[in-house]
Each structure stands twice: as C-alpha cells, then as structure tokens.
Chains A and B, each alone.
Chain A
Amino acid sequence: MVDMVSYDDGRCRKLGFEETELRLGLPGGGEKTNANYGKRGFEETVDLKLNLSSKEMTLDQNDLKLEQSLSKEKKLLPCSNDSVKPPAKAQVVGWPPVRSFRKNVVMAVQKKTDAEEAEKGNGGAAAFVKVSMDGAPYLRKVDLKIYKTYQELYDALGKMFSSFTMGKCDSQGVVDFMNESKLMDLLNGSDYVPTYEDKDGDWMLVGDVPWEMFVESCKRLRIMKGTEAKGLAPKAMEKCKSRS
C-alpha cells in the first residue's frame, strides 16, 4: 500500500480508515481505480504477476508469451471437472509458502550438489576407500573415481607405499591371471599384491574385473604380501575359467 505513512522520523501516526481499508491487491500493485478489483480469478493473478518486474520471475520472453496465451485460453473455473493446474513453468509468487531463510538453505544445497555433479561428470560422489598395506605404520585413503585404469591406480599406490611393486598389466589394464605360471611367479615373489574386499565381503585379487566394475564393487583395499595372497589365486583362476 503505497500511501502508508513513512516512519523514518521514528514517530507513530494514527492511521485513517482509508489507509487501513482491506484490499486484495498484489504487493507493489499500487492504487487500483477499478471498482471491481476485489474479484480476481486465478488467470488474472498469473497475468498480473507476469507484468510485475520482480526478482522471483524466472521466465524469459518466450515463456512470458506462452503463459499469457495459456491463461487466456483456459478459463480456470475451480468447479470444472478438468484437473486444474497452474501453467507448468510458472512460479507462483509465495508458493509453496516457505520462509526465505529456509528457501535459501535448500537452494544453496541444491546448487552445491548440481555443481558437484557437473564437475564429476559421472554424476556420482567420490569413492574413497581405505588402503592398508601389510607392515605399514598407517593406512591411506584413495578416491577410486579419479583414476581411469588399473595402471593409474597402481602408480598412485606405488607412490604412496614406495616399497610396493606390482606386476605389469596387459593392454586392457587387467592383470593377466590367465597365465598360471606368471601368476605363481607373482605370488611366490616377495612382491606385494593388491587385494580388495568387494560388496559381498569377499577378498579378491585386484585386476580381475573390468575397471568400472571394480570401482563399483570395491569397499576397501589391502596390499598383501605375495605369500599370503596364495589362497586367493585359485578363486581368481576359477572366475577366469568360468568366464572363458
């Protein structure tokens, strides 16, 4: 109501009846000379809202035209049998009725997660897993999502645990466990072997499955001494054999 007394001087003034008259005007709508301003159907609300320049407007010019034509075409009578919905893209001012503080909290989080997802590209959060190495004084953590192949992972792990050595990968990055003698050489050596715990709680040799599948199923990594990893090898061999 634009003709309210301003209180900059800090004094209160008794209001005349006109000023306290009940009106059904929209905020910022100003004085209405139209005697029938009380009655407004829904479509007029949307129209009026669209004419205001308010921060809540998220519609661009094309949407604006679409809204206005939609509201004129649809005579929105609440007692009609059609299911009445506001135009899909229109954001009704002040609906849902939620305080701005709460709105800001929710929007801020939404923006954050949108930004994170855009960055990651694969739409997932980071996949941190613990890495333990037999004999090391402390554990480490790696984010599996930042690597694209097994070799990248081995390199990173190698840097982390400098006495760590690993077998070579074939062209797909999958350690060649099909070759039994190579495998036995690996395991019998004093080299360390990376193993992981999968979703089922089983301990597996790393390199068995395609990289993406590994990232999905790996819960934690353990770099075992080759001699201790022998028990796992038959499992790996069985899986390979059943695949071929």
Chain B
Amino acid sequence: MRLCHSMMNYFPEEVLEHVFDFLTSHRDRNAVSLVCKSWYSVERLSREKVFIGNCYAINPERLIARFPRVRSLTLKGKPHFADFNLVPHDWGGYVYPWIDAMAKCGINLEELRLKRMVVSDESLELLAKSFPNFKALVLVSCEGFTTDGLAAIASNCRFLRELDLQENDVDDRKGQWLSCFPDTCTSLVSLNFACLKGEVNMAALERLIARCPNLKSLRLNHSVPLDALQKILVQAPQLIDLGTGSFVHDPDSEICNKLKNVLQKCTSIRSLSGFLDVNSRCLPSIYPVCTNLTSLNLSYAPEIFSIELIKLIRHCKKLERLWILDTIGDKGLVVVAATCKELQELRVFPSDLNGMGNAEVTEVGLVAISAGCPKLNSLLYFCQQMTNAALVTVAKNCPNFIRFRLCTLNPTIPDAMTNQPLDEGFGAIVRSCKGLKRLSVSGLLTDQVFLYIGMYAEQLEMLSIAFAGNSDKGMLYVLNGCKKLKKLEIRDSPFGDVALLADTGKYQTM
C-alpha cells in the first residue's frame, strides 16, 4: 500500500488530471478527491461539471472556492414532494444568489441545469449578460419567471445551443420572446418551449429553425398549429426529437397529406411527444415515423381514445420508452406487451384526477407488460387497483427493475382480490429486483412491507412512502436496513421522532 502511494506521487499533476478526465460521473470524481490531498487538489482544479443535489447543502461561495473552473452547474432545489403542492410556497430554492456569485467571481459558466428552483426574470437577465460563452439552459419544474426573462436569454446569449423548458410554470407577457433571437443565431441544437402557455410568432419561429442546421431537438407548444408544423419540418428534416404543438386539422385535408409526406423524409426522428391538442383522425399522418421510434410520449393527450392509441402502438415495434395515459386501458397494454419487445421504460399516467374515475388500468395490464417486455427496468404506474399475486408475477418476470413506482389512485386500497395489505407483493419486488434503486409504494401497507424493504432492498437509493405503516418499527426497519438510501420522502404515515431521529448519523449519507 505504501509503495503504491509513493509511486503515484511520481506522476506529475498533468498526468493525474488527464487520467481524471476519463471520470465522467460526479460520484467517481467525489471518490477520487477523497484519496489524498494532492488528488483532491488536482481534481478540484480540473472539475468542470458540478452536481449539487440540494441547493442548501453548500453555499455558492464555497462552490466557487473549491471548483474555480466550473463550467456546467446542476442544481436541485425543492424536494420532490413540492411537485404535488406538499411543500410550503415560501420554502426557497432561489437561483439568483448562485448566478450573482458566479458572475462576480468571473466564472466561465456555459451550462446551467435547474430542477424545482425559483428563477426570477432578474436572474435570467443577469445570467444572459454575465457569461459570454453561455450555451445551455435547462429548467425543469421551475417557477418565478416570465417570457421577458426568456427574451433576455434569446437576445444576449450569442452561442446558445440549448434552451430546454420542461413543465415549468411560466407567465406569458405577450412579448415576442422568440423574435428576440438575432439573425446571427444559428447555433441552436435543442429548443423546447412546450410548457409555454402563450403564442409565438410563427414567421420568426420558421426563420429561426431554417437558419439552425444543427437543430436536433424541437418541442413546440400548443399555439403552433399543424400547418405551421408541416412548414417547419420541411426546413428541419434532420430532427431526432420532435414535440408537436397542436395536432388538429381536418383529417381529409391537403395539409395532413403534406404532413405525412414531409414526415416520411424525416428519417432521423427517434423521439416523439406533444399532441397537446389532438384530433385522433389526424394520427395516421405520423405512422411513417413510428417504425423507427424509440421514445413516445402521449401523456398530454387525453383526447386520444384507446382504439386510436392501439392502432398507433402497433406501428411502433422499436419502442424503448413509452409515456402514456391510462386511457389506453389494460387491453391497450396487452397490445404494447405484444408489440414493443424492446421496451425499457413505461409510464402510465392518470387521466381522471377527480375521483377514482373511469380508469381502466389495473394489475392485468401490468402483468401483461411484465410478461411481454423482458427488458423493462423502469416503471411508473398509476392504476385503479392491484393485487399481491400480480406483483409476485411481475417480480418473477422482470427481475431487472431499477425504478419501480406504483401509485394506486386510492392511496390505501388493499389487494383487490384478497383484501389483504399489499406487503407481500412489494416484498416480492424487492426480493427479486436486486438492482432496485428507486421505489414508491402505495395501497394498504403495514410495517411488514418496510421489514422486507429493509431486508432486501440493498441498492435502494430513493424511497417514497404515503399513507403506509403502523408504527415507528416500519421506519426503523428501513433506516437500519437500506445502507445506500439517499432520499426518503414520507407523507401521512405514523412515524414519529423516535424512529426518524434514532440514527441521525445515517442522514450524513443521505
């Protein structure tokens, strides 16, 4: 051991730096920086991408002091439960202090990725004006800004490659933010404004797309009609990822025919989403791209009936990722199971949020999918009901789950056949899926399920619990058992201070 250590010391720092260049995962770089002082020093001066999973874990000054060469920063703010209105509105997660600190210290920021943070127009303006090489802005589930902030980004970031807005709450100021991209802007690779509520200038959009030959990913909002989409696609046949805007037109019209023709020329499209407003009878226009699709997101299109969905799915034999609404029904999931043999990720979202509703997705659909799609490793499944027997079968069919999130629409519903808690079913899942990293449980659950989780879920990093368990024992099983647990979110479950504070040392690793 001593011999190795002293040999490593003979390598000049440049060599170490070069070796560290091959370490792309931030966990690997974190590990490397713990080895010794010289490695820590080389690593910190060469790190360009920094990931901060909790924006309050460290302050901006500390970040800059340790990583002066940071070019790409990822920040996460509010906890996951904030997406469901379970976190107080004034919790925090403001990005301004970060941008301000980096601007003052002359950081050469090129990429900023934010999730669940509060972003003001002032911060966007400061961002746009402070970093001349700024290239990529990705905002997921953020709020606090308007289209004026976007206008600042468009006007000032001369080398902008990526503007990706996913499910943010943005106020529309009726300005022409898209028209603020100067004629000299030709560098766009990715443009996603699907979540914006307002209109954009169609002519400006068409011109922008025409002058960006490297555009690979384009996601439009609902204000872009079908005929504009057709014209845009003529200019951008190189697209790999397309999100349509509104997909409504007279299906027998010339426009739908033209669209079908132009889509036939877009041979690179592998990912499709959008359909924010859709006439099902126009869907056949997209059949040309379905054969090569690997990713399909129809989860914003509740107007598409089960029959239409099924017809569409039959064309998509290479699908690896499918996000869909429960309007597809168990019958539709059987068709998915028969058609999509390459499927890795499935998300089935609820279409009726008011009550227990008319959801036709039950354990039957899930069992069919598990039997038909052997490569399935990631699941988010909202369903009307579930049974232990089904979960046991799913566990047997798919031992490769990395993410398993089940959400029964009635949060405390028992096994639909036996009326028992769903402990055994989830127990089977954690026993069988040795690589399980993320788990969300629901339905009627006692402390027993947590015993299973603590015993078997050795790789578990994130656990979501709601309305589950009987006593503190449940929590103790989990906290004592899951050695790799990083994130724990609990709501409406009877766990008190005794359990949660029993081993505060554990929280250091979380």
Say yes or no: is A38 at the interface (Cβ < 8 Å to chain B). Answer: yes
B94 interface neighbour in A10, A28, A96, Cβ under 8 Å: A10
Say yes or no: is A78 at the interface (Cβ < 8 Å to chain B). Answer: yes
Chain B contacts for A91, CB-based, 8 A: 354
Contacts known (A28-B88, A38-B495, A102-B349); A86 close to B60, Cβ less than 8 A: no
Contacts known (A96-B382, A98-B350); A10 close to B467, Cβ less than 8 A: no
Contacts known (A15-B56, A42-B412, A99-B167); A79 close to B90, Cβ less than 8 A: no
Stretch at the interface among A103-111, A195-203, A206-214: A103-111
The reply to whether A83 and B414 contact each other, CB–CB distance below 8 Å, is yes
B93 CB to closest chain A CB (Å) equals: 9
Contacts known (A94-B81, A102-B167); A24 close to B90, Cβ less than 8 A: no
Contacts known (A7-B97, A84-B444); A94 close to B85, Cβ less than 8 A: yes
The reply to whether B97 and A10 contact each other, CB–CB distance below 8 Å, is yes
Interface string of B45-85 (1 = CB under 8 A from A): 00000000000100110000000000000000000010111
Q: How far is the CA of A27 from the CA of B88 in the complex (A)?
A: 5
The reply to whether A99 and B83 contact each other, CB–CB distance below 8 Å, is yes
Chain A contacts for B435, CB-based, 8 A: none
**Total A residues in contact with B, Cβ cutoff 8 Å:** 51
Say yes or no: is A41 at the interface (Cβ < 8 Å to chain B). Answer: yes
The reply to whether B410 and A86 contact each other, CB–CB distance below 8 Å, is yes
Chain B contacts for A234, CB-based, 8 A: none
Contacts known (A4-B92, A84-B414); A22 close to B470, Cβ less than 8 A: no
The reply to whether A97 and B83 contact each other, CB–CB distance below 8 Å, is yes
Say yes or no: is A101 at the interface (Cβ < 8 Å to chain B). Answer: yes
Contacts known (A42-B467, A101-B167, A103-B353); A94 close to B407, Cβ less than 8 A: no
Q: How far is the CA of A102 from the CA of B351 in the complex (A)?
A: 10
The reply to whether A41 and B407 contact each other, CB–CB distance below 8 Å, is no
- Tell me the chain A residues, 26-66 only, with Cβ under 8 Å from chain B: 27-28, 36, 38-42, 45, 56
Say yes or no: is A1 at the interface (Cβ < 8 Å to chain B). Answer: yes
Q: Interface residues of A: mostly helix, strand, loop or mixed?
A: loop
A10 interface neighbour in B96, B351, B468, Cβ under 8 Å: B96
Say yes or no: is A243 at the interface (Cβ < 8 Å to chain B). Answer: no
The reply to whether A101 and B410 contact each other, CB–CB distance below 8 Å, is no
Nearest CB in chain B to that of A1: its residue: B88
The reply to whether B302 and A109 contact each other, CB–CB distance below 8 Å, is yes
Say yes or no: is B213 at the interface (Cβ < 8 Å to chain A). Answer: no
Contacts known (A79-B470, A83-B419, A86-B412); A24 close to B495, Cβ less than 8 A: yes
Chain A contacts for B469, CB-based, 8 A: 78
B381 CB to closest chain A CB (Å) equals: 11
The reply to whether A12 and B302 contact each other, CB–CB distance below 8 Å, is no
The reply to whether A110 and B496 contact each other, CB–CB distance below 8 Å, is no
The reply to whether B407 and A101 contact each other, CB–CB distance below 8 Å, is no
23 contacts between A and B (CB under 8 A): A4-B92, A24-B490, A27-B88, A38-B496, A38-B498, A39-B494, A42-B412, A77-B470, A78-B446, A79-B421, A83-B419, A84-B414, A93-B85, A94-B491, A95-B411, A98-B350, A98-B382, A101-B141, A101-B167, A102-B167, A106-B350, A106-B353, A109-B303
Q: Top 8 A-B pairs ranked by shortest CB distance?
A: A38-B496, A94-B84, A101-B167, A12-B59, A94-B86, A97-B84, A39-B496, A99-B83
